[in-house]
Amino acid sequence: MAFLTGKFSALPFKFYTISSSSQQQDANQNPKSVKIREDWRKKSRPIPPGGTYPAKDHCSHCGLCDTYYIAHVKNACAFLGDGMSRVEALEPIVHGRGRKEDSLDETYMGVYENLLYARKTKPVEGAQWTGIVTTIAVEMLKAGMVEAVICVQSDPEDRFAPRPVLARTPEEVIAAKGVKPTLSPNLNTLALVESLFAKCFLSIRWKVVGSWCKAPSLLRGWLPSSSFKISGAIFESGKALCTRY
C-alpha cells in the first residue's frame, strides 16, 4: 500500500506552488543564510568519490554535494548543526510552518497537509505497493502534465543499488518500479534538470528510510528561472515530476 501526502484526487492533481522569487526573499530574510557568490556554478566543486561530506555521519547522501549545487549546502542541508535544531529552523521556510506540537503524526513524519492511503485494484506486475505511484507518474507523463520524472532505477549489476534517472518516457518510469531499500542520491540529477528545463515545475516525491534532506525545497530560490516552482505536496516515493511553464 502506498503512503501519500498532499492533495490526491482524479487527474489533474491540485498542486500548491511557490515561485523562486518569493523563496529567495525568504532566504534573504534568514539571518543564518550564507550568501552565495554569483559564479557559483563555475566555481563550485563536487565532493570527489570517497571524500567526506559536510554532514559527515549524519549525511543522507541525497546527491546535492555530488554536483555544483554543493555551493548551497550550508543553506539547504537539514543535517548541519546540533541535533534537530536545523530541521526545526528550516521547516517553516520550506513548508510555511513548523510541526504541530499536539500532533503525534507530525512529530514522526514532519509537516504535512493530508495523509492518504491508496492502492491499485489491478496491481502493476513487479511493483512493490501495487504500483500506484508509478502509475500516477506514467499517467501524468502521458497527459502532458509533466515532461520528465526523476525516479530511481536499479543498477544493472546490482538490483539493490539505486540509480537516479530523468525518465522521459512511460517505459523509463516503469523500469523504476519497486522499492530500493537504501539511500539514493536523487539530487545529483538537479544539474541535468536545470540544463534540460530552463523553466520547470517540480513536484518533489521522495522515499527513504529515516530522515530525508529537504534541499530541493530550499533550492527553489536559487534555480535559474523566476518561473521555477515547487509543489507543496510531498509524496513518499522515489520520483519527482518536471513540467515546463
Q: What are phi and psi of 53, to 5 degrees?
A: -85, 155
Count other C-beta atoms under 10 Å from residue 165's C-beta.
Answer: 19
The 10s digit of each residue's pLDDT in 85-141 is 777 787 887 778 888 999 998 888 788 887 778 889 999 888 888 888 888 888 888
Find out whether 242 and 202 touch, Cβ atoms under 8 Å.
yes
Q: Measure the CA–CA gap between 141 and 170, rounded to whole angstroms.
A: 7
Q: Measure the CA–CA gap between 245 and 243, rounded to whole angstroms.
A: 7
Sign of CA dihedral 44, 49, 52, 56: positive
The 10s digit of each residue's pLDDT in 11-65 is 444 443 333 334 444 444 454 666 777 788 888 999 998 999 998 988 888 888 9
pTM over 0.85: no
The 10s digit of each residue's pLDDT in 128-184 is 888 888 888 888 888 887 778 888 888 888 877 888 888 889 999 899 888 887 888
Which domain covers residue 79, as residue numbers? 2-243
- Determine whether 156 is exposed, middle or buried from the number of CB atoms within 10 Å of its CB (0-12, 13-18, 19+): exposed
HEC-encoded secondary structure of 21-76 = HHHHHHHHHCCCCCCCCCCHHHHCCCCCCCCCCCCHHHCCCCCHHHCHHHHHHHHH
Find out whether 194 and 224 touch, Cβ atoms under 8 Å.
yes
Find out whether 70 and 45 touch, Cβ atoms under 8 Å.
yes
Q: Total domain count for the chain?
A: 1
